[in-house]
A and B are shown apart, each in its own frame.
Chain A
């Protein structure tokens, strides 16, 4: 009897250990998966976020900052990919700038993993795939699928309530690990607040004129397919939205950042630096609560019959049909929107122009696919390769 019980215990323990080891390997692989970045013709230097705030130096959030210096002087634009690492179109759109863009006038600074820690795991209990692959002419490229929040391995535990600094506003407790709720951060705060603070220091020191934060949203979220703007960017965002809607076959609206909603980039970057802050939202059915199978395929095609059904019941703030929201459409919306901001900004600020070439717009990304704009890693010289 006791031997039988012991045998049962051993079997259960062995099963538990097997789960523990296999999950551990998966977590470890996902946390350490290196994503190559081919430095395009426009990248003039790669810096580290930690150069702007020592407490971030050498940590998981000491992310790369890709500097694209123009031949002629002008304005400075910051593009943030990966504020929310579970919104891959935001990261990929930024990637296309780094691997393809050339800056003629002004300067562009790009982050691909603004909250790098959040890119090292997926939402706990969400059954999200740990990675996804984009096919390119030179072979597959694998990317980490991340989370909305800083990895608890890097910041733990969460408090009962999260009091935003410096507003004192009470936010959801879990958002103490949400980079887009902790702006402008503080030097002696949590890890996520320190990350936000490092970015603020960089924005102030590099004299950023326009900061763009790239996101994706579930279709059940009312802030979608839009540019959210700080009050100093209202005219810029409105003009950009009108030009895109007129000329590029997709609709994008504008929302004004509420004065009393704190912690978000569109509010705090504008309030705590001279930069105009904008945030773009593209539709991502992968994040919808009513989605079906959470597969790599769904991530890339944005096709989901259950989300379509939710739409038929009037539960969505964006349209969806059987064609879904493919990754190329979502990435193309972002690249066109960034390029349009640069153009409209330059018209309004002729003394501080921003001229960018080589980055595909909406129609071209859809026609050729995202992979067509990811360069051959094997052909890049060692000094023209970076890793995320």
Chain B
């Protein structure tokens, strides 16, 4: 009596837990090969590509990729990592305006080709308009240039401290895959690019 009541309840609870946990991660899918680039020349893209390399997800990293580069291979996915580095842009000899222009054209071309566009922000609040210089908001410019035009977003949760990405997601109806720890990038990529 006792058992017969308890088991179905437990089973239901278990099912809810499993489905609840698995559903969001499974929803966002993309295919290879992938072109990874940056909007703002931050060190962020490497955080994705070190794991892509380990997981053998076919990709190319080109931090200054242009629309032309999309013709080099039959890319199925474009990942643009947002957040800017004044030092990175300085070294590359570009400004945030140049970056927005380049990435804008790249995204337009990707759309034309039916390539999945993924916007990413992987460095938390460190890459949210406070690190570069007083009054600098190139991090936010970079986010605005990429995220509203993406099919979905990959974001480290602590970068959403002020709800920036949650708001973007609701306003533009773009799903976000959040992760907490850096090592979870591995699972996010497995889910997105796994069959």
Do chains A and B interact in one complex? yes
Which residue numbers of A lie inside 8 Å of B, CB to CB? Answer: 222, 234-235, 238-239, 242-243, 245-246, 251, 253-256, 258-260, 314, 317
Check if B126 sits within 8 Å of A243, measured CB to CB: no
Q: Could you jot down 10 A-B contacts, CB within 8 Å? A: A222-B133, A235-B46, A235-B49, A238-B47, A242-B183, A246-B183, A251-B126, A253-B123, A258-B91, A259-B91
Q: With a CB–CB cut-off of 8 A, which chain B residues contact A255?
A: 43, 87
> Across the two chains, which residue of chain B brings its CB closest to A257?
B91
Q: Which of B34-56 contact A (CB under 8 A)?
A: 43, 46-47, 49-50, 53
The chain B residue sitting closest to A223, CB to CB, is B87
A41 to B63 CA separation, bound complex (whole angstroms): 46
Report B153-195 residues with CB < 8 Å from chain A CB: 181-183, 185
Verify A253–B43 contact, CB threshold 8 A.
Answer: yes
A254-B43 in contact (CB<8A): yes
Q: Which residues of A contact B134 (CB under 8 A)?
A: 314
User: Do A246 and B182 touch (CB < 8 A)?
Assistant: yes
Q: Assess the B43–A242 pair: CB atoms within 8 A.
A: no
- A245-B182, A317-B131 known; 6 new pairs, CB 8 Å cut-off, are A222-B87, A251-B126, A253-B43, A253-B126, A259-B91, A314-B134
| A82, chain B: closest CB distance, angstroms | 26
* In the assembled complex, B24 has its CB within 8 A of some CB on chain A: no
- A222 CA to B85 CA, complexed, in Å: 11
CA of A259 to CA of B183 in the docked complex: distance in angstroms? 29
Contact B53 A235 (CB under 8 A): yes
> Which residues of A lie under 8 Å from residue B49 when comparing CB positions?
235
Complex alpha-carbon distance, A260 and B45, angstroms: 21
Q: B71 in the interface, Cβ–Cβ < 8 Å? A: no
Q: How far is the CA of A255 from the CA of B126 in the complex (A)?
A: 13
A250 → chain B, closest Cβ, in Å?
13
CB distance from A252 to the nearest CB of B (A): 10
* Contact residues in B for A239 (Cβ distance below 8 Å): 50
Q: Does B114 contact A (CB under 8 A)?
A: no
**Minimum Cβ distance to chain A for residue B84 (Å):** 14
- The answer to whether B43 and A238 touch across the interface, beta carbons within 8 angstroms, is yes
> Which residues of the partner chain A approach B53 to less than 8 Å between Cβ atoms?
235
Q: What secondary structure prevails in chain B residues at the interface with A?
A: helix
Interface centre among B43, B88, B90, B123, by most chain A C-beta atoms within 10 angstroms, is B43
| CB pair A234 B87 closer than 8 Å | no
Residues of B within 8 A of A245 (CB): 182
Q: How far is the CB of A171 from chain B (nearest CB, A)?
A: 17
Distance, CA A243 to CA B43, complexed state (A): 16
Question: A300 to B88, alpha carbons, bound, how many Å?
Answer: 34
* Nearest CB of chain A from residue B179's CB, rounded to whole Å: 11
A235 and B50: CB pair below 8 A? yes
Question: In the complex, what distance in Å separates the CA atom of A251 from the CA atom of B131?
Answer: 14
CB proximity of A109 to chain B, nearest CB, Å:
27
B46:A238 contact, CB within 8 angstroms: yes
User: Quick one: closest A residue to B127, CB to CB?
Assistant: A253
Find out whether the CB atom of A242 lies under 8 angstroms from the CB atom of B47: yes
Interface string of B76-114 (1 = CB under 8 A from A): 000000000001101100000000000000000000000
Q: Is the CB of A246 within 8 A of B91?
A: no
The CA of A135 and the CA of B49, in the complex, are separated in Å by 45
B133: A residues at CB distance < 8 A: 222
Query: Smallest CB–CB gap between B95 and chain A, Å?
Result: 16
Contact A258 B87 (CB under 8 A): yes
Known: A238-B43, A314-B134, A317-B131. A256 touches B88 (CB 8 A): yes
Let me know if B91 and A238 touch, CB within 8 A.
no
Using known A-B contacts A235-B50, A242-B183, A246-B183, determine if residue A256 contacts B43 with beta carbons closer than 8 Å: yes
A243 to B90, CA, bound (A): 28
User: For the complex, what is the distance from the CA of A251 to the CA of B91, rounded to whole Å?
Assistant: 24
In whole angstroms, what is the CA distance A242 to B182 when docked? 6
Expressed in whole angstroms, the Cα–Cα distance for A259 and B91 within the complex equals 7
How far, in Å, is A228 (CB) from chain B's closest CB? 10
For A344, the closest partner residue in chain B by CB is B50
* Minimal Cβ-Cβ distance residue in B for A317: B131
Rank and list the top 7 A-B pairs by shortest CB-CB distance, nearest first. Answer: A242-B182, A238-B46, A258-B91, A246-B181, A254-B43, A235-B50, A246-B182
A235 to chain B: which residues have CB within 8 Å?
A: 46, 49-50, 53
A243–B186 alpha-carbon span in the complex (Å) = 13
Interface flags for B130-155 (1: CB within 8 Å of A; 0: not) read: 01011000000000000000000000
Chain A residues whose CB sits within 8 angstroms of the CB of B43 once the complex forms: 234, 238, 253-256
A258 CA to B92 CA, complexed, in Å: 9
**Bound complex: CA A72 to CA B61 (Å):** 36
* Residue among B47, B131, B182 with the highest chain A CB neighbour number at 10 A: B182
Rounded to whole angstroms, the CA-CA distance of A206 and B99 in the bound complex is 43
Complex Cα gap A238–B182 (Å): 10
**Distance between Cα atoms of A235 and B47 in the complex (Å):** 8
Q: In angstroms, how far is the closest chain A Cβ from the Cβ of B81?
A: 12
A320 to chain B, nearest CB (A): 15
Q: Which of B46, B91, B181 contacts A234 (CB 8 A)?
A: B46
Return chain A residues, CB-CB under 8 Å to B88: 256
Q: Shortest beta-carbon distance, A26 to chain B, in Å?
A: 40
B83 to chain A, nearest CB (A): 11
Q: Which residues of B contact A222 (CB under 8 A)?
A: 87, 133
Q: Once the chains are docked, how many angstroms separate the CA of A245 from the CA of B183?
A: 10
A314 — which chain B residues lie within 8 A by C-beta? Answer: 134
